[in-house]
Chain A
Amino acid sequence: MHLSKLNIWNFRKYGTKGTGGKEPGLSVEFKKGLNVLIGENDSGKTAVIDAIRYALNTKSYETIHFDQKDFFKPKGKARTNTFEIECIFCELETNEAANFLEWAHFNEHNKYELRVHLKATLHTNNRITFDIKAGPENADMQMDGNARELLKVTYLKPLRDAEQELTPGYRSRLAQILLSHKNFQKNKDEKGEYKSHEFEDIIKEANDKIKTELSDRNKILIDINKYLEKFLHNQDERRATLEIAPPELQRILRSLSLEIDENPSGLGSLNKLFMAAELLHLGADQYNGLKLCLIEELEAHLHPQAQLRVIKALQNIKNTQVILTTHSTTLGASIPLKHAILCHDKEVYPLWEGKTKLEEQNYKFLERFLDATKANLFFARGVILVEGDAENILIPTIADLIGKPLHKHGVSIVNVGSTTFLHYAKIFMRNDGTELEIPVAVVTDLDVRAMEYYTDHQDKKKEVYVLTEDLKLDKHDISALYGNAYQSKEEIKEAIRSHIEEKRLPNGVGQAVDSIEPQDLNGELIENLRKTRRKRLERKFNDGYVQVFCSKKWTLEYDVALSETLRKYMAEAIVKASEIKKRRTYEVIPNEDGLNTVVDDICRGSDNLKIAYDIFKPFTQDNAPSKAVTAQLLAEKLRNNESTFVTQDENGKETFLLRNDEYLKYIVDAIDHTCDNQGIGNE
C-alpha cells in the first residue's frame, strides 16, 4: 500500500482550477519507494509535505495547528474559508485492505483503493475546525481512531536546532519519538491493568537507593526535613524527598539525551543522529500500517558527501515509501531521475517513465553524466544548454551587455560539454499533456565549414549529396526533402527516416540512396547544407518551451569573426590565445602595438568570408588555441568596452548595440527566449 495521489484545494498558495473550482489546485502523483520533490524556493515543496501530514498525522504526534494563512487567498479577493486535502492510497495488500474494509472502495479501474479526505473550515471568528473522513467521494464517513492510527506517517521535520531538540527537557523531541515507539508501550497484566514499564522500575529502585543513601548515611534529607518541619503547619505531614526523576515513563524519557560523542558534536552529526532516531519508527512499524516517511530538506546542515550517504541509505529501506524535499544540487544530481518530481511555479512535474519524453537510454545517459554542476537546471526559471566552455563563458557577458543579466532572471547555463543536448532537453519535454513552463534554449553551432576551409585543406573530402526527385517512396511523400544537400549518404538516410517517422527505411530506399552521385562542393551548396542542417536541428529540438538556437554559419568563433562590429575583438582574442598556447604561459602577452598590427593585418581587405576564415584559421590547425581561453579574453574585452555596446540617451533609455548584430542574433534570441517566456508565475 502506498500513497499514489495527493489533491489539494485552496491550501496555502494552491487555489483551485477549472470552472467552479472543482478541480484541485494541485494534484501530485507519487510512486512506490523513493520520491524526491526538487525545485527552487517557494515552489510549493513544503506545502505538499504539510498537506500529507495534516491529513494523515505523524507517528511522533506533531501538534497540528492550522493557521488562517493555510487558507488560500486569491489576489484581490477575500481569503477562502475552506481548504481540502485528499490522499489516495492504492495497491493495498490483502492484509492491509483488511484494516480499511469499511472505507476502501473499488475505483473505476476496479482497483481497491482508499481515499482519505480532510476538510478544514475557517469560521467568522477565526476559529478553525476540521474533519477527516475516508471513503469514496460523496460517500465518505468518519474513520475509526484505531484505523487512523495505522495511517500515520514518519515525519522528519527540517531541523533548525538539533542541539535543542536532542537535549533533555520538557521539549525533548527524543522523548516524543521514543514514547511512541512500540518498546515503550506499556503492557497489561493479567487483570488487564497497565503494568509499570521496566524503566520505571529501574528508576524507582535507584530512587530508593539514593533515598537510603541520603537519609541514613548522609543525614542530608534528615537535616532538610528538620528545617522544613519547622516551616510547615503542625498538621502538614509532607516531607521532602530527593529523586533522580519521578518514576513516570514520560518524565524519564524526557531526561534522556542522545549522544554520539562525549564531546559536543557539530550540528551535522547531531542532525544525522536525529534522523536516525526519527527513522526508528520505520523499523518498528505496526504490522499492517502504512509505511510512509516524509523528510523535509534532507540537506539541512549536511555537507554534500553526507547528503549522498543519507540518500543512499534511504533508498535501501525496504517496503517503505519515502517522500523528501530538497534544493540541493548534489542530491539533484545523485537521485535517480525516475524518482524525481520537479516543482515549478505552483505545479509539479514527475520526471519518471512516460511523464516526459525521456526514454530508457536517456535515463541511463543522464545517470552517468548529470552531475552537480548540471543539476542546477532543476532550480532554474530558464535554462540555456550549451555545448562548450566558450558559450558558457560568453553568454553571461552578452546577457549583461543586452541588459538581461541571467542571475536576475534566474536563468542557468548548463554546459553539456558535447552535442548530446537531447538527453537534457528531454527532461523538459512533457509527455503527459502538461506543459512545463521553463523555457529551455539549446545553443549550438551549425557546424558547416566554410568554403575557404576546403580550399585550405585540400585533403578533406569535398563531397556533397543532393536529394533529388529521382528518389520516390511508395507510401510516403518526401518532396519536402528534395533539393536538400547532405554531407554523407548516412545523413540522407537519417533525414528520410525521421521525415517518414519510421525506424527503418522501406525496402530498396537504402540502395537508391547509395547510388546518389556526389557533387563537388561550392559556396551555394554550402548554404544549402546549412539550411538543411538548421531544419534538422529545429525538427529535433523544438518542442513546447524547448527551442534550438544555432549559429548562422559554422561555429560561435567563426560567426563572431564575420560580424563587422565584433571581428576585431575576436581576432585579438584568438591571436592572444594562440600566443598563450604557444608559450604555455598566461604571463607573456605580446605588446599592444605588435598585437594590433597582427590583428589589423588579418582584418584588412573587403572579402568578409576570407577575413572571417583568416581570423578563425588557428582553430583549424594543429596546436589550436583553447576556445575557453579565447572566450574568456573576448568576454573581458567586451566588458571593458561596455560603454561602446550600451549607450544611454538623455532620458536614461539604454540602447544595446549587440542586439543589432546579425551573427550574435542566435545568442541574443536564446537569452530573450529564456528570460521572457517564463510562466506567468504569481498572478
Chain B
Amino acid sequence: MNDLAFSPPEIASVIHDLGLPENAFGDENSARMRIINCWDDCDIVACPGSGKTTVLLAKLLLLARRMPFEDGRGVCVLTHTNVAIDEIKYQLGTKSDVLFKHPNFFGTIQSFVDRFLSIPCFKERYKCDVKAIDTNLYVQKIKFVKYWKFKNNRDCQDFYINKGTIQHYIMANENILNELHYCISQSDESKYLSRTLNGKEIDIKKPRSQSDYDDETKKIIYSYLDSVKETMHKNLNILSYDDAFYFADLYLRNHSNISDILSKRLNFRDSQKRGVI
C-alpha cells in the first residue's frame, strides 16, 4: 500500500473540497500529516473537537479519488453508531459515493457482521433470506409465537399438555423469552440457551417453591423455549441483534477460510505493532 503516498497537490485539493483553511494540516511533520501518510495500524487518541474525524474524512476522500484499486481491494470503515455514518455522508456529500459501493464497506459494526457473516450463515442454514435483524420487532413477534406453541397439534403435543406449567414458568421468569440467547459451547461446539450473550446455560427452576420440577418437566420447558426461538428464525426469519452475532460466530467456526477471504477484500491487518499518534 506504500505506493499510495499522497502528493501535496492532492492533499491541497481535498482540503479545499472539505472547506478547510489552506494550511489546516500544517507542514509535513505535523501530527495530522503523519496520520494522512500512515499505512500501518495505529490508534489515534486525542481530545474531543481536536479534529480526529476531519483527518479521517480527508484520508477517506484521498483514497476515494484513487479508487478503484488495481488489485480489487476495498476500504472498510466501521463505526459504532449510524450517527457517525450520517455525519461522514453529510460532510463528504456525493464525493463519498464510491466508498459505499462494492468492494468497499462503510457502516456500523453490527451491519458489517450482518452482511458478511450472519446473513450468509442464516441463508446457508434455512435456505431463505433474513426478513429483519431488529430486536424491537423480535420482541413484538415473539409474543405471538409464544401462544402458537400451545396448539394441540402433533408437533406441540408436549407443550399443550404442560401448558399450565410452562405458562407459570414464563410468567415467573419475566422477559425470559425476549432475553433468550443461543450460544455455542466452547467444549463441544454444541448449541445451548442462555439469558446473556455467551453466558451460562439457563437453569430451569420451579419458581417460588421448595420443590423443583422433575427432570422430564425441565426438559419440556427447555425444549419449549428452544422451539419458540427456533420458530422466530426458521419460520418468521426474524433475528435479534444478538442472534446475528450467534450466527456470525457459527459461520466463522464452520468455515475457517472466511476470515482469510474477508481480509483479502478489506485489507485488515493482523499486525502486533500498533503506534499511538
Q: Which residues of A contact B (CB under 8 A)?
A: 94-95, 97-99, 101-102, 104-106, 110, 112, 135-139, 141, 144-147, 150, 188, 190-192, 286-289
Contact = CB atoms under 8 A, between A and B. Distances in A.
B68 A288 contact: no
B102 A146 contact: yes
A275 B256 CA distance: 43
Given A101-B116, A139-B128, 12 more contacts: A94-B261, A95-B264, A97-B261, A98-B72, A98-B264, A98-B265, A136-B123, A136-B127, A138-B129, A146-B103, A150-B72, A287-B70
Contacts of B103: 98-99, 146-147
B274 interface: no
Contacts of B257: 94, 112
B71 interface: yes
B68 A99 contact: no
Contacts of A95: 71-72, 264
Contacts of B64: 192
A136 B72 contact: no
Interface string B183-223: 00000000000000000000000000000000000000000
For the complex of A and B, the 4 pairs showing the least CB-CB separation, nearest first, are: A98-B265, A144-B102, A98-B264, A146-B102
Given A192-B65, A288-B71, A94 B127 contact: no
B40 interface: no
A264 to B, nearest CB: 41
B30 to A, nearest CB: 20
B122 to A, nearest CB: 8
Given A99-B265, A105-B124, A190 B13 contact: yes
Contacts of A150: 72
B95 interface: yes
- Most B C-beta atoms less than 10 A away, residue of A105, A136, A192, A289: A192
B101 A106 contact: no
A146 B68 contact: yes
B269 interface: no
Secondary structure call for the A interface: loop
A98 B262 contact: yes
A190 B10 CA distance: 5
Secondary structure call for the B interface: helix
Contact of B123 (A97, A105, A147): A105
A286 B129 CA distance: 31
Interface of B: 7, 9-10, 13, 64-66, 68, 70-73, 95, 101-103, 115-116, 120, 123-124, 127-129, 254-255, 257, 260-262, 264-266
A102 B72 contact: no
22 contacts: A94-B261, A94-B264, A95-B71, A97-B264, A98-B262, A99-B265, A101-B116, A101-B262, A101-B265, A105-B124, A106-B254, A106-B255, A112-B261, A136-B123, A136-B124, A139-B123, A146-B68, A146-B102, A146-B103, A147-B102, A287-B71, A288-B71
Nearest to B98: A146
B70 to A, nearest CB: 6
A102 B114 CA distance: 10
Contact of A102 (B65, B116, B129, B255): B116
A287 to B, nearest CB: 5
A110 to B, nearest CB: 8
A112 B261 CA distance: 11
A106 B124 contact: yes
B72 A192 contact: no
Nearest to A150: B72
Given A139-B128, A192-B13, A287-B72, A102 B115 contact: yes
Given A101-B261, A105-B124, A190 B7 contact: yes
A397 to B, nearest CB: 61
A667 to B, nearest CB: 57
A138 B72 contact: no
A146 to B, nearest CB: 4
A101 B116 CA distance: 7
A97 to B, nearest CB: 4
B171 to A, nearest CB: 37
Contacts of A104: 120
A588 to B, nearest CB: 79
Contacts of B261: 94, 97-98, 101, 112
Contacts of B7: 190
Given A99-B265, A188-B65, A287-B72, A135 B123 contact: yes
B72 A144 contact: no
Contacts of A98: 72-73, 103, 261-262, 264-266
Contact of A137 (B68, B115, B127): B127
A129 to B, nearest CB: 21
Nearest to B68: A146
Contact of A192 (B95, B116, B123, B266): B95
A20 B71 CA distance: 45
A652 to B, nearest CB: 64
Contacts of B265: 98-99, 101
A141 B128 CA distance: 11
Contacts of A145: 101-102
Contacts of A190: 7, 9-10, 13, 65
